[in-house]
Amino acid sequence: MSNHIVVLWSYLRARIGASGGWDDAGTVVEKVVLTAIFAALALAVGAIIVAKVTSKANSINLN
């Protein structure tokens, strides 16, 4: 999934660069978008880890 994000981000940067580039406000928007993407990826990784740990804990036989 991260490869798709890299490709999409590269495409967007190329398109914006061709249209005149970033202005000062554009760099702020870029940082906000990147922060949101990384936060979403961190939440996804956290959810996967929690699911795996919970699954492993539930598989332990306590009898």
Q: What is the pLDDT of residues 12-60, one digit of tens each?
A: 778 777 666 556 666 777 888 888 999 999 999 999 999 999 999 999 8
The whole-number average pLDDT for the span 1-6 is 73
Task: DSSP for 6-41, please give it.
Answer: HHHHHHHHHHHHHTT---HHHHHHHHHHHHHHHHHH
Alpha carbon distance 33, 14 (integer Å): 16
More confident residue, 54 or 7: 54
- Predicted structure pTM score: 0.53
What confidence score (pLDDT) does residue 24 get? 61
What confidence score (pLDDT) does residue 56 get? 94
Q: Check residue 20 and give left, alpha or beta (phi > 0: left; psi -120 to 50: alpha).
A: left
**3-class SS at 60?**
coil
What confidence score (pLDDT) does residue 41 get? 93
